[in-house]
């Protein structure tokens, strides 16, 4: 069992609203695969958080719980070393959320930059679901319930961790306790993978993603249509490497760094066609994705076995979160029983 108390604790998670893509891999999955050797890692399928902006699509969330679990297993998250759990099956989380909601102001919530951006992108106007407005508080419950010291996530999550730290400090000060632990964010070296259209972020809603589960043909088609340097019209023209997603992906996924450096230099000099670089990128991506696809297909043969792994993790997590809840209620002097 991974209960060695000297290990640092990680809590991280995803909203299950679709399959995971290369951006998820670079932004956090790669770190999780490494960190499971050295940390006590909890990985949350944040289905309640998914409902805050997908209340109309519970079926999609339910299906995505399985799909995302398959993605986790396929990239090498090992249920023996990491605990995968389903948020909505842990009753301590909404209970903690209710207590924390009293420790943060409405004004503070309104100024969370990531939430503001999402409100804009989703076009909510004045009709923001209340649950959506407060999801950072529920995320603070996720993190603190497991006493996480480290949260490895993309840089869009920085405001969530900041709000969590504020809540932890307020709680510990107000109730004169050290029951809650301040988390630290761990961002990845490649904070954001651009989309295949060259837009700043690969995302499902922008329709510019390559999924971990895409077939070889789908990947080939997507790479072929990738945005490059729009001013690189003829092969002999010098091309730009910065802001050219083909090269960003090569940096992230090609293992032969010397070859990538050579391609970059050649491209910048002129004389290297987009199709040649894309062909090399495709090879690199297929080499990266092939084993992932294979493992995914193997696990997908027995979905019940996958769900059983997740349910088992959830049971472990439920106990941990419940213990924190008892401490929290104790600190508040609200343990009636």
Query: Which of 9, 10, 13, 239 is close enough to bind ligand TRP by CB under 6 A?
Result: 13
CB of 146 to ligand TRP, least distance (A): 9
Per-residue exposure over 211-244, b if at least 16 CB sit within 10 Å of its own CB, e if not: bbbbeeeebbebbeebbbbeebeeeeeebebeeb
Q: 159 or 194: whose CB is closer to ligand TRP?
A: 159
With CB under 6 A as the contact rule, which of the stretches 7-15, 90-98, 99-107, 261-269 interacts with ligand TRP? 7-15
Query: Which of 36, 41, 49, 144 is close enough to bind ligand TRP by CB under 6 A?
Result: 49
x/- letters, 89..128, toward ligand TRP (CB under 6 A): ----------------------------------------
Q: 85 or 281: whose CB is closer to ligand TRP?
A: 85
Q: 46 or 320: whose CB is closer to ligand TRP?
A: 46
167 sits near ligand TRP (criterion: CB under 6 A)? no
Query: Which of 20, 43, 44, 145 is close enough to bind ligand TRP by CB under 6 A?
Result: 44
Query: Which of 9, 11, 137, 292 is close enough to bind ligand TRP by CB under 6 A?
Result: 11
x/- letters, 126..165, toward ligand TRP (CB under 6 A): -------------x--xx-------x-x---x--------
Residues binding ligand TRP: number (CB under 6 A)? 14
Query: For 41, what's the count of Cα atoms within 13 Å in the CB-facing half-sphere?
Result: 24
Query: Which of 10, 14, 82, 247 is close enough to bind ligand TRP by CB under 6 A?
Result: 14
Q: 73 or 145: whose CB is closer to ligand TRP?
A: 145
Q: 147 or 232: whose CB is closer to ligand TRP?
A: 147
CB of 114 to ligand TRP, least distance (A): 8
Q: 104 or 300: whose CB is closer to ligand TRP?
A: 104
User: Interface residues for ligand TRP in 278-317 (CB under 6 A)?
Assistant: none
With CB under 6 A as the contact rule, which of the stretches 44-52, 55-63, 68-76, 204-212 interacts with ligand TRP? 44-52
HEC profile of the chain: CCCCCCCCEEEEEECCCCCCEHHHHHHHHHHHHHHCCCCEEEEEECHHHHHHHHCCCHHHHHHHHHHHHHHHHHHCCCCCCEEEEEHHHCCHHHHHHHHHHHHCCHHHHHCCHHHHHHHHHHCCCCCCCHHHHCHHHHHHHHHHHCCCCEEECCHHHHHHHHHHHHHHHHHHHHCCCCCCCCCEEECCCCCCCCCCCCCCCCCCCCCCCCECCCCHHHHHHHHHCCCCCCCCCCCCCCCCCCCCHHHHHHHHHCCCHHHHHHHHHHHHHCCCCHHHHHHHHHHHHHHHHHHHHHHHHHHHCCHHHHHHHHHHHHHHHHHHHHHHHHHHHHHCCCCCC
Per-residue exposure over 55-81, b if at least 16 CB sit within 10 Å of its own CB, e if not: eeeeeebeebbbbbbbbbbbbbbebeb
Q: Which pair of structure tokens corresponds to residue 218?
A: 């789908």
In the complex, residue closest to ligand TRP by CB: 46
CB of 88 to ligand TRP, least distance (A): 12
Q: 141 or 284: whose CB is closer to ligand TRP?
A: 141
Residues that bind ligand TRP (CB under 6 A): 11-15, 44, 46, 49, 139, 142-143, 151, 153, 157
């Amino acid at each position: 069992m991974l209960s060695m108390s000297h290990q640092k604790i990680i809590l991280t998670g995803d909203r299950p609203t679709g399959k995971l893509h290369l951006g998820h891999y670079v932004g956090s999955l790669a770190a999780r695969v490494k960190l499971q050797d050295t940390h006590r890692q909890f990985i949350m399928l944040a289905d309640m958080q998914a409902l805050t902006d997908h209340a109309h699509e519970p079926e999609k969330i339910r299906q995505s719980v399985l799909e995302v679990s398959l993605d986790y297993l396929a990239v090498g998250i090992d249920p023996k070393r990491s605990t995968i759990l389903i948020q909505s099956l842990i009753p301590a989380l909404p209970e903690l959320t209710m207590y924390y909601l009293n420790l943060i102001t409405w004004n503070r919530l309104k100024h969370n930059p990531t939430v503001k951006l999402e409100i804009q992108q989703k076009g909510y106007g004045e009709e923001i679901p209340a649950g959506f407005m407060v999801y950072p508080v529920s995320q603070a419950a996720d993190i603190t319930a497991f006493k996480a010291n480290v949260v490895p996530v993309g840089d869009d999550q920085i405001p969530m961790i900041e709000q969590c730290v504020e809540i932890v400090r307020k709680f510990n000060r107000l109730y004169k306790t050290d029951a809650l632990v301040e988390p630290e964010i761990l961002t990845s070296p490649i904070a954001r993978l651009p989309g295949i259209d060259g837009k700043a972020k690969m995302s499902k809603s922008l329709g510019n993603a390559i999924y971990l589960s895409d077939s070889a043909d789908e990947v080939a088609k997507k790479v072929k249509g990738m945005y490059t340097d729009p001013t690189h019209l003829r092969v002999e023209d010098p091309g730009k490497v910065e802001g050219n997603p083909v090269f960003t992906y090569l940096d992230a996924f090609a293992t032969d760094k010397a070859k990538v450096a050579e391609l970059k230099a050649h491209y910048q000099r002129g004389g290297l066609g987009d199709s040649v670089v894309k062909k090399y990128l495709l090879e690199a991506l297929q080499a990266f994705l092939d084993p992932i696809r294979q493992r995914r297909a193997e696990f997908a043969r027995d979905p019940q076995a996958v769900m059983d792994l997740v349910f088992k993790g959830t049971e472990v997590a439920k106990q941990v979160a419940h213990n924190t809840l008892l401490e929290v209620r104790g600190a508040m002097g609200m343990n009636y029983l």
